[in-house]
Structure 1
Amino acid sequence: MQPTELRELLTVDGLRLLDSLPAFDQKADVVQQVARLRKEGHSPSLVAAVLTQARLRAKGRSKFGDFADRMLFTEAGLEQATRLPVASTHAGRFRRAGLRRIADLGCGIGGDALALAALDLGVVAVDRDEVTAAIATYNLAPWPAAEVRLGAAEEADLDGVDGVFLDPARRTEGHSSTRRLQDPADWSPALDTAFAFAERLPTGVKLGPGVDRELLPSDAECQWISVDRSVVEVGVWFGALARPGIRRAALVLGAHGPAELTAAGDSDDVEVGDLDEYVYEPDGGVIRARLIGDLARLIGARTISRDIAYLSGPTAVATPFAQCFRVVETFPLDEKRLRQELKKRGIGRVEIKKRGVDIDPAAFRKRLQLSGANEATLILTRVAGHHTALLCERVQPA
């Protein structure tokens, strides 16, 4: 979005037109919509802007729920924004730590600042991009205690601030097509600069979940968060924002509500054991936090092979930290044999999971030539060091 387009959108007529549009329908005829709006006398740039915002608002509901219906977005800003349930966990940390005025440096479209303001915390939201800062200003307008400033995180005035939150930009600048920056020194602010704020104030830094663990400070609490079994971030917390005695945490958010495993450090592994009746796939947050050993002890399970993140046990235990499967049959990982066995059982749909084997699940599924009305889960992995296929069914323990 260009500044001129945003200025036209941020008028009484522009916002009224946006709010008057029907719910976005991906199948609707866009040409007809454009023609209708142009016939009503609206400029081409405003028509493009409101239709883009209608589409982004519909897309934004997955992150912001009903709040999305009154927010503005850029394509890149929405993609990089924190989901509201996750932003709420960030905000809760600041409130529990007794911090009252927070600087959100690199605020983007204002997702985390919105969650902070909703808890009646004062917010100074800073972003270096003019369009993004303007959109954050609009999104935070309902909260008088939230202030948006245009500027670089490194140069932000922290006078009167008692806590800092940063989400370093890890992609190239822009509002739509951007590319990922691999070197932490190229992030905005650079990772070392972000961590350095902790020398002055209690600080939280949001990073991608796959960040090199060697970059994570040993004196901080690192919490990996997954939402509906997708790992979305690792939060690095310093000072009063870090919980005493906790250096590793896996927070799992889903229909079951929040559930968390915590530890003073990476957990010790459990021994490799025989494949039992049930197999567990740990949540990605548990795997990233390296708390698989603690989970195994919690559910009475063992690993099935060294360095493989599947667990196995004799009973089906209900846990939010793993998915459970009953092992129906085991086979050598032989494509021809599997094709025959699945055909014999009338299995026409398979969910394929894999760890420790070099297989493309989509291509492998196609080569299986599936047919039949039944369905199953196929886990391709190593058991006691041997490549093995586990024919399984999903289990929902009571």
Structure 2
Amino acid sequence: MDRSELVELLSPEGLRLLDSLPPYESTVDVVRMVSDLRKAGHPPGLVAAVLSQSRLRARAEAKFGEFAGRMLFTEAGLEQATRFRVAALHAGRFVAAGTHRVVDLGCGIGGDAMAMAAMELTVTAVDADEVTAAVASYNLAPFPSATVLNAEAESIDLDDFDAAWLDPARRTAGHTNTSRLTRPEDYSPSLDWVFGLAERLPIGVKLGPGHDRDLIPAAAEAQWVSVDGKLVEMGLWFGVLARDGIRRSALLLGPDGVAELTAPADSEDVGVGPLGNYLYEPDGAVIRARLIGDLARSLDAHMLSEGIAYLTSAALQPTPFASAFRVLESLPVDEKKLRLALQERRIGTLEIKKRGVDVDPATLRARLRLKGPESGTLVMTRAGGHRVALLVERVR
């Protein structure tokens, strides 16, 4: 979305037209809708703008729920925005720490700032991009305690703030077709500047979940977050925003609530043992936080193979921190024999999971030429240093 498109969209006619549209469902409906709106006399630019927003609002429901229907978005802004459920937890940190005036440096479309304002924090949201700042202003308009500035993060006088939240831009500038930046010094603002700020002010920082762990400052609490099994971010917390005695955390948000595994440091792995009746696949947040050893000890489990994130045990221990599978049998690793074994079991639908072996599940599935009414899950990995193929069933 460029500046002229935003001007059209923010006009009284544009906002009325956007809010009058039915929910976005398919491209077929859109083609029909374009024709109807043009026949009604609406200019082409406005029609394109409102239909683009309608599409983005439909996509945004996964992150913002019912709030999405009253917000505006850019393509890149939605992609990079924090899920509202996670943003609420971010905001809760600032409330729990007793901070009141927070500056959001690199606010994007304003998702985190909305959560802060909803918790009655006084928040100043800052973004260097003019269009993005205007979109954030619209999204934050219902919150009297929120202010938006169009400025560079580094230019803001921070003397009047108790704490700061930062989501450094990790993609190239623009609103669509951006590309990922790989060097922390190219982030905006740079990580050197961000971590330098932590020496002056309590801060929270949102980074990608795969961020280089060697670059995590020793003073920070590092928290990896997964939502419904998908790893979404790593948050770093400094000063009073970091919890005493915690430097590693795996936070899981699922349909049944919130679960967290914490430790003062990376946990020591457990030893390798024989394949048991059950196999556990730790959540991605647990793996990235390097808390597999603590999880294993809580399950009375051991590693299936050194350096591979599968655990195994004789008895089932329910846990929110890993997916559990019942081991049904070991199948041949040789592809021809594996194909025959699956044909004998009439398995036509196969989920293939793999760790520690060079296998492309989609390619292997095609070569197995599966047929039959049954379904199954195959785990391709290593046990005691040797390749294994395990037929398992997921424990619900």
1:298-337 equivalences in 2 (<5 Å): 298-337=298-337
Q: Contact conserved, 1:127 with 1:149, CA < 8 A, in 2? A: yes
- SS of 2:198's partner is helix
What's 1:129 paired with? 129
After superposition, give the CA deviation of every residue in 1:193-215 in whole Å (9 maximum; x if it has no partner): 11111111100010000001011
What's 2:392 paired with? 392
1:331 to partner: Cα distance? 2.7
- SS of 1:171's partner is coil
Deviates more, 1:21-30 or 1:47-56: 21-30
What's 1:51 paired with? 51
Distance in 2, matches of 1:212 and 1:46, equals 43
Is there any run of 5+ residues in structure 1 with no aligned partner, and where?
Answer: none
1:292 to partner: Cα distance? 0.1
Q: Contact conserved, 2:166 with 2:204, CA < 8 A, in 1? A: yes
What's 1:118 paired with? 118
What's 2:109 paired with? 109
What's 1:376 paired with? 376
1:153-164 equivalences in 2 (<5 Å): 153-164=153-164
After superposition, give the CA deviation of every residue in 1:112-137 in whole Å (9 maximum; x if it has no partner): 00110110101000000000000000
- After TM superposition, the runs of 4+ consecutive aligned structure 1 residues lying more than 4 A away are none
Q: Contact conserved, 1:195 with 1:205, CA < 8 A, in 2? A: no
Distance in 1, matches of 2:14 and 2:226, equals 37
Distance in 1, matches of 2:107 and 2:171, equals 14
Q: Contact conserved, 1:102 with 1:162, CA < 8 A, in 2? A: yes
Distance in 1, matches of 2:159 and 2:11, equals 33
1:332 to partner: Cα distance? 3.9
1:334 to partner: Cα distance? 1.5
Task: Using structure 1 for the length normalisation, give the TM-score.
Answer: 0.98
1:31 to partner: Cα distance? 2.6
1:274-353 equivalences in 2 (<5 Å): 274-353=274-353
What's 2:186 paired with? 186
What's 1:87 paired with? 87
Distance in 1, matches of 2:378 and 2:281, equals 12
After superposition, give the CA deviation of every residue in 1:286-322 in whole Å (9 maximum; x if it has no partner): 0000000000001111000000100000111111100
What's 1:202 paired with? 202
Task: Using structure 2 for the length normalisation, give the TM-score.
Answer: 0.99
Q: For this pair of structures, how many residues does the alignment match?
A: 396
What's 1:149 paired with? 149
Distance in 2, matches of 1:193 and 1:339, equals 55
After superposition, give the CA deviation of every residue in 1:41-82 in whole Å (9 maximum; x if it has no partner): 111111000000000000000000000000000000000000
- Sequence identity percentage: 62
Q: Counterpart of 1:330 in structure 2: which amino acid?
A: S
Q: Counterpart of 1:317 in structure 2: which amino acid?
A: Q
Distance in 1, matches of 2:311 and 2:300, equals 9
1:335 to partner: Cα distance? 1.0
What's 1:26 paired with? 26
Distance in 2, matches of 1:177 and 1:304, equals 42
What's 2:68 paired with? 68
Distance in 2, matches of 1:114 and 1:229, equals 25
Distance in 2, matches of 1:90 and 1:382, equals 38
1:27 to partner: Cα distance? 4.5
1:28 to partner: Cα distance? 3.0
What's 1:39 paired with? 39
Q: Contact conserved, 1:99 with 1:163, CA < 8 A, in 2? A: yes
Is there any run of 5+ residues in structure 2 with no aligned partner, and where?
Answer: none
Distance in 2, matches of 1:121 and 1:26, equals 39
